[in-house]
């Protein structure tokens, strides 16, 4: 069997969509998992064929494997291995390189029980840092994280590993969440783990010598008193009075893989736009030449958008995992490093650039046109009578903080005035040539002061706005696709909790006549609409 199919590539979900083993997947000679809809697309590109059909019935029958090309013993061997993969691979399948991995080193001196005392008093044992702390599961040592811009950290956790050889650490702040973050210095990666919040037991996945056939897990109870509160450098509020009970809905949560919430929140916003518009997310699969869909950024991007679109159509939410897409983001946009929090606005702009390039090559359907302002920039000088006109497409309006969205956007379109070399006055006017159906607005919540960026915590009103006075048909034709009296209203926003762009937590919020919903990585809950006033990037329609 090993000569025909490599099960190390097996995933519980189709590589082109999120149909999984409960629906039934097919495994090809490449080792990829494929659904009945997408298997022929892949077979044609890769020149491979179907080897296994895998279905998890979820009852006493368990995982059933069929094959028309393998013998009875080979099918039995495949069944046994796939049962283990389906059971232990709780994210989506055997992880690729640079993903969260199954630790192969373990922890020889773990006592099984640790107590770090009162959360309000905990700090690094070598300095006074109280945020982004890591606890060693071998001895209970608490140290700060590595040095990185915008985040407190002196690297004392790593120094402890280098001195004592203790390789496994748990992020203290994650003990108040549903999923803990565990890092192994020997693996140099986040490693697979599970967390029982009620018993406060962390279970770390450990891969033994025989890989799939022998798995020994490490259990450690980390006890503490008090509640995990908001910290200065990572102001992620665990308990929020504005959050109510979880609700069903057409939206999906995106699992967080360690500081990837900035990616998830941007995908949620763009996915919202795609879900309610006539965007064919299947089109890319037909024209893409990649034999491995897990190595194509747009295969995985359309995979995520397609699942979101399906969720809205069926009015049925769920949770998806995007480790393949995160990996490709880091490869195609290396400025976004793994395990490091980044600015959601910066990621949104650069992702839109990638999407626009693919649109020009007809690799994906039009998405940026739903968000792009077409603006004429006209510069005139009163002294030398110089006139210059250029057209630009702007996917995101960046403006200063103001008392409400309307005034913030109007400030963006105000004229800019400066002195010309001739002694006259130059004036730049921005006039809208085309209004998009959706408007993305980033408000400047950060100011540079005394060598550091500081956050503006002021509320911003979510008033509707009309842009008629900023429209100007300078070419004398009628290119504007949206009427001049079109009124934009807030339909969602990306919110950032925390004092620094390089830390904290990003979430996506949806707003309509039925109220406001928080779509986080593991939950969808109804919330008070006032939370939108803390928004960072707004989506208007």
- Write down the domain spans for the chain: 7-88, 113-225, 260-360
- Those residues whose C-beta lies under 8 Å from the C-beta of residue 43, and which sit 6 or more positions away, are 28, 49, 50
Instruction: Name the E strands within 82-237.
Output: 113-118, 133-136, 142-144, 168-171, 182-184, 189-190, 193-196, 201-204, 218-225
Cα gap 274→284, rounded to integer Å: 14
Q: Rounded to an integer, what distance in angstroms lies between the CA atom of residue 168 and that of residue 164?
A: 11
Given the structure tokens 């050889």, which residue do they identify? 165
Torsion of CA 468, 470, 473, 475, to 10 degrees: -170
If DSSP codes are grouped into helix, strand and coil, which group holds residue 339? coil
Phi/psi at 455 (5° precision): -90, 140
On the 0-12 / 13-18 / 19+ scale of CB atoms within 10 A, 385 is exposed
55: Cβ–Cβ under 8 A, 6 or more apart, which residues? 21, 22, 23, 24, 25, 63, 64
DSSP annotation of 48 reads: -
Tokens of 79: 């069944």
Alpha helices in 89-206 (DSSP H): 156-164
pLDDT at 244: 47
Helices within 293-402 (DSSP H only):
297-314, 323-332, 344-360
Q: Is the dihedral of CA 232, 321, 331, 144 positive or negative?
A: positive
pLDDT by residue (tens digit) across 390-433? 888 989 988 887 778 888 888 888 888 888 888 788 888 888 88
How many residues in total does the chain contain? Answer: 541
CB-CB contact of 405 with 462 (8 Å): yes
Q: Residue 516: in which H helix or E strand, if any?
A: strand 515-519
Rounded alpha-carbon distances, angstroms, from residue 415 to 379, 431, 468: 10, 10, 16
pLDDT of res. 522: 66
Q: Which residues pair with 443 in a beta bridge?
A: 399
Q: How far is CA 332 from CA 58, 298, 300, 350, 367, in A?
A: 38, 11, 13, 11, 19
Q: How far is CA 69 from CA 52, 74, 75, 85, in A?
A: 8, 10, 9, 22
Of 536, 538, 487, 485, nearest to 511 by C-alpha is 538
- Please return the burial class of 169, using the count of CB atoms within 10 Å of its CB with bins 0-12, 13-18 and 19+: buried
Cβ 136 vs Cβ 160: under 8 Å: yes
Joined tokens for residue 208 = 């033994």
The answer to whether the CB of 28 falls within 8 A of the CB of 49 is yes
Assign 205 to helix, strand or coil. Answer: coil
> What's residue 197's pLDDT?
57
Cα–Cα distance list, 78 to 22, 32, 67, 327, 539 (Å): 17, 14, 10, 28, 48
pLDDT, tens only, 250-273:
888 888 766 788 999 999 999 999
Is residue 188 helix, strand or coil?
coil
Tell me the backbone φ, ψ of residue 248, rounded to 5 degrees: -85, 155
Which parts of the chain register pLDDT below 70?
Answer: 1-3, 58, 84-101, 108-112, 148-151, 176-179, 196-199, 205-217, 225-249, 257-258, 339, 448-453, 472-485, 499-503, 522
CB-neighbour burial class of residue 186 (10 A; exposed 0-12, middle 13-18, buried 19+)? middle
CATH architecture designation of domain 113-225: 2-Layer Sandwich (3.30)
Distance CA 153, CA 126 (A): 11
Please say whether the beta carbons of 453 and 446 come within 8 A. yes
Nearest-5° Cα angle at 38, 32 to 39: 55
Q: What is the reported pLDDT for 89?
A: 42
- Residue found under tokens 């905990």: 122
Q: From 142, 132, 154, select the one nearest 505 (Cα to Cα).
A: 132
**Single pTM value for the model:** 0.73
Q: Which residues pair with 537 in a beta bridge?
A: 442, 494
| Cβ contact 208:271 at 8 Å | no
Q: Contact at 8 Å (CB) between 508 and 248?
A: no
């Amino acid at each position: 069997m090993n000569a025909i199919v490599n099960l190390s590539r097996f995933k519980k979900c189709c590589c082109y969509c999120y149909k999984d083993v409960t629906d039934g997947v097919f495994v090809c000679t490449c080792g990829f998992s494929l659904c009945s809809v997408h298997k022929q697309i892949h077979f044609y590109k890769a020149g491979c064929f179907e080897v296994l059909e895998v279905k998890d019935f979820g009852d006493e029958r368990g995982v059933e494997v069929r094959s028309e090309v393998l013998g009875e013993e080979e099918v039995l061997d495949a069944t046994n291995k796939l049962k283990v993969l389906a059971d232990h691979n709780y994210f989506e399948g055997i992880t690729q390189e640079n993903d969260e991995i199954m630790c192969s080193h373990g922890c020889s001196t773990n006592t099984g029980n640790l107590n770090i005392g009162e959360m309000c008093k905990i700090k690094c044992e070598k300095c006074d840092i109280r945020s982004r702390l890591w606890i060693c599961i071998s001895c209970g040592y608490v140290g700060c994280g590595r040095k990185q811009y915008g985040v407190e950290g002196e690297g004392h956790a790593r120094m402890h590993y280098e001195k004592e050889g203790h390789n496994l650490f748990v992020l203290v702040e994650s003990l108040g969440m549903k999923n803990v973050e565990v890092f192994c210095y020997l693996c140099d990666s986040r490693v697979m783990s599970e967390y029982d919040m009620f018993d406060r037991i962390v279970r770390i996945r450990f891969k033994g010598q025989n890989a799939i056939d022998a798995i020994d897990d490490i259990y450690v109870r980390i006890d503490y008193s008090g509640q995990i509160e908001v910290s200065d450098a990572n102001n992620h509020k665990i308990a929020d009075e504005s959050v109510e009970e979880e609700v069903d809905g057409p939206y999906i949560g995106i699992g967080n893989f360690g500081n990837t919430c900035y990616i998830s929140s941007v995908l949620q916003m763009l996915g919202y736009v795609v879900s309610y518009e006539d965007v064919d997310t299947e089109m890319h699969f037909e024209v893409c030449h990649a034999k491995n869909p897990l190595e194509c950024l747009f295969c995985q991007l359309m995979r995520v958008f397609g699942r979101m679109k399906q969720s809205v159509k069926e009015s049925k939410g769920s949770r998806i995992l995007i480790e393949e897409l995160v990996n490709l983001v880091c490869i195609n946009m290396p400025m976004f490093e793994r395990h490091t929090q980044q600015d959601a606005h910066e990621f949104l702009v650069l992702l839109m650039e990638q999407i626009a390039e693919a649109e020009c090559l007809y690799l994906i359907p039009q998405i940026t046109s739903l968000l792009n302002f077409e603006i004429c920039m006209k510069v005139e000088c009163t002294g030398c009578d110089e006139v210059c006109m250029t057209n630009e497409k702007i996917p995101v309006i960046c403006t200063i903080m103001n008392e409400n969205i309307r005034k913030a956007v109007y400030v963006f379109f105000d004229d800019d005035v400066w002195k010309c070399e001739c002694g006259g006055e130059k004036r730049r006017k921005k006039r809208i040539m085309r209004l998009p159906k959706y408007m993305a607005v980033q408000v400047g919540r950060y100011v540079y002061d005394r060598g550091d960026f500081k956050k503006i915590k002021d509320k911003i009103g979510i008033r509707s706005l009309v842009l008629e006075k900023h429209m100007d048909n300078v070419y004398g034709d009628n290119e504007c696709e949206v009427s001049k009296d079109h009124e934009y209203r807030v339909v969602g926003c990306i919110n950032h909790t925390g004092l620094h762009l390089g830390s904290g937590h990003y979430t996506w919020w949806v707003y309509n006549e039925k109220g406001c919903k928080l779509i986080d990585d593991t939950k969808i809950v109804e919330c008070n609409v006032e939370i939108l006033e803390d928004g960072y990037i707004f989506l208007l329609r």
